[in-house]
Structure 1
Amino acid sequence: MKLLIIEDEVELAAVLHRGLSNEGSTVTLATDGNTGIELACSVVFDFILLDVNLPDRNGFEVCKTLRDAGVITPIIMVTARDDVADRIRGLKSGADDYLSKPFAFDELLARMDAVQRRVERPLSTPVQPDGSITVADLHFDPRTMTLTRSGNPVQLTVKEMGVLRLLMESPGSVISRSEILRSVWGIEDDPLTNIVEVYLSRLRRKLNALGPPIVENVRGFGYRLIT
């Protein structure tokens, strides 16, 4: 996952950079609003963490500028300002969530996960009128429950097919572990089960045997189909 942190507080920026990098993310840091805007408008990020109190312009302005420019990347505002008026202003400027300092790193990860689940799926889908789905070199036909990669058949179990179909319906989007459990197994998130990890490991192994890796494990968030 590619993250952009727009934060001028050096110590906090370093902590966030280290923690999110350890979670497997690629992190880019901007220490002022204008640099953050330039980066966010020129590079596609999966998430933006935005401080309100920046040296050149406040985070509310930065957020609104990004939204006006058509940037749809999820944004969480991070700030020491915790009054209701600021929260409302942040959300109205286009932020997806608002996190007050100080905060626990686990809370940040949880909020990022929650925002990711709320993000609206793309309006365009790879689903064809006949119900078949084609993404990159993968083709799934639900009528015959068959999958091919580059024309080669891939033997999958019903559950493996269910997981892959969920990923193929939203290529490039991160599908959380809890959503996979709910959609494929019909159960709520259970931290004690590793069934998702087991099935994804098998699925990736079968797909990788016929081509380059196409299912990415976004650590701490979920899985997505690389397009």
Structure 2
Amino acid sequence: MTAMPANIANPTEPWRFLVVDDEPDLVEVVCGALRHEGWDAVGAHDGREAVSAAATYQPDAVVLDMMLPDMDGMEVMRRIHTSRPEVRVLFLTARDAVEDRIAGIAAGGDDYVAKPFSLDEVVVRLRSLVRRTARGRTGRVASPDCLVVGDLVLDEAAREVTRGGEPIDLSPKEFSLLWFLMRHPRQVLSKSQILAEVWSYDYGGQAHVVELYISYLRKKIDAGRPAMIHTVRGAGYVIKAAAP
């Protein structure tokens, strides 16, 4: 039976992406952009490494350079699809000729981006790919706008929050604060960073408003459950999955 992408089998897991290019700096930049979106990303620098990584990491999609030092991108895709045909492929190509683009799509690729490219464009196209994957596997569209930390899910488009599947009603400012925390899971955010992002210093840098709204969130997010929102004394606040 064909394996279902990890994110669809377990929708609380972030999407997984494998980025393949023989330029290490490019791989690192693209992986960083994807992680900034709240997704998981790992890199590979040649075809053999990519095929091996796909088998162990089990990505939902691959960002794949057409021209690698040991084999071309279409051969890498063919080998990955032999065992995991459901994996989506976004080709990176320096060859912008129509024939090359058609060849990649005809061989089983899902989309392409020509080098040099915009990171924003890559992110948008990958959102589209994972949306299509979710529709094909579950019969419904999994929102690409969801932020997930542990069993806490924030849907930006629907403006909805759930924990363990139970809905949580938040005010607009509480929602904005939670969104900022969840965009940076396991990262300590200072009061000044939170003020700048959530309040735009409308409160003149008064840190007590952050403390107040953190307490509001805790009552709604953590009440009766293992804590997810933590204070790091002298540094700020951090959100992370609750300990099992």
The match for 1:111 among 125, 137, 140 is 125
Q: CA deviation at 1:180?
A: 7.6
Q: 1:210 & 1:70 partners in 2: Cα distance?
A: 41
Aligned CA distance change for structure 1 residues 207 and 38 (closer, same or farther; 3 Å): same
The yes-or-no answer on 1:13 pairing with 2:27 is: yes
CA distance in 2, matches of 1:124, 1:19: 27
Does the CA-based 8 Å contact 1:41-1:71 persist in structure 2?
A: no
CA distance 1:85–1:198, change in 2 (3 Å): same
- Pair 1:198-2:212 in alignment: no
Q: Which of 43, 61, 66 is equivalent to 1:52?
A: 66
Shift of 1:16: 1.5
Percent identical among aligned pairs is 31
Question: Secondary structure at 1:102's aligned position in 2?
Answer: coil
SS in 1 for 2:81: helix
Q: Which blocks of at least 5 consecutive residues in structure 1 are unaligned?
A: 126-168, 185-193, 214-227
Name the CA shift for 1:174/1:41 in 2 (closer, same or farther; >3 Å): farther
| Secondary structure of 1:76 counterpart | strand
Structure 2 counterpart of 1:69:
83
Checking the alignment, whether the CA contact within 8 Å between 1:117 and 1:176 is kept in structure 2 is: no
Secondary structure of the 1:53 match is: coil
- Name the aligned partner's letter for residue 118 of structure 2: A
Q: Which amino acid aligns with 1:46?
A: D
Report the TM-score, using the length of structure 2 for normalisation: 0.52
Whole-Å separation in 2 of the counterparts to 1:34 and 1:88: 24
Aligned partners of 2:105 and 2:111 also within 8 Å: yes
SS in 2 for 1:62: helix
Distance 1:212-1:55 versus aligned 2 partners, 3 A rule: farther
SS in structure 2 at match of 1:119 = helix
Residue correspondence of structure 1 range 206-225 to structure 2 within 5 A: 209=223
Residue 207 of structure 1 deviates from its aligned partner by 7.1
Native 8 Å contact 2:28 2:43 kept in 1: no
Distance 1:211 1:41 in 2: 36
Deviations, residues 111-151 of structure 1 (Å, cap 9, x unaligned): 111222222535567xxxxxxxxxxxxxxxxxxxxxxxxxx
TM-score by length of 1: 0.56
1:7-66 deviation per Cα after TM superposition (whole angstroms, max 9, x unaligned): 102232232133333333332111111111111122222331100110111001111222
- Residue 40 of structure 1 contacts residue 71 of structure 1 at CA under 8 Å; is this kept in 2? no
Count, aligned residues: 158
Runs of 4+ in structure 1 deviating by more than 6 angstroms, as ranges, are: none
- 19-28 or 40-49, which moves further after superposition? 19-28
Deviations 1:78-99 (A, max 9, x none): 1101111111111122211111
Distance change >3 Å, CA 211–CA 48, structure 1 → 2: farther
Structure 2 letter corresponding to 1:198: F
* Contact 1:51/1:59 (8 A) holds in 2: yes
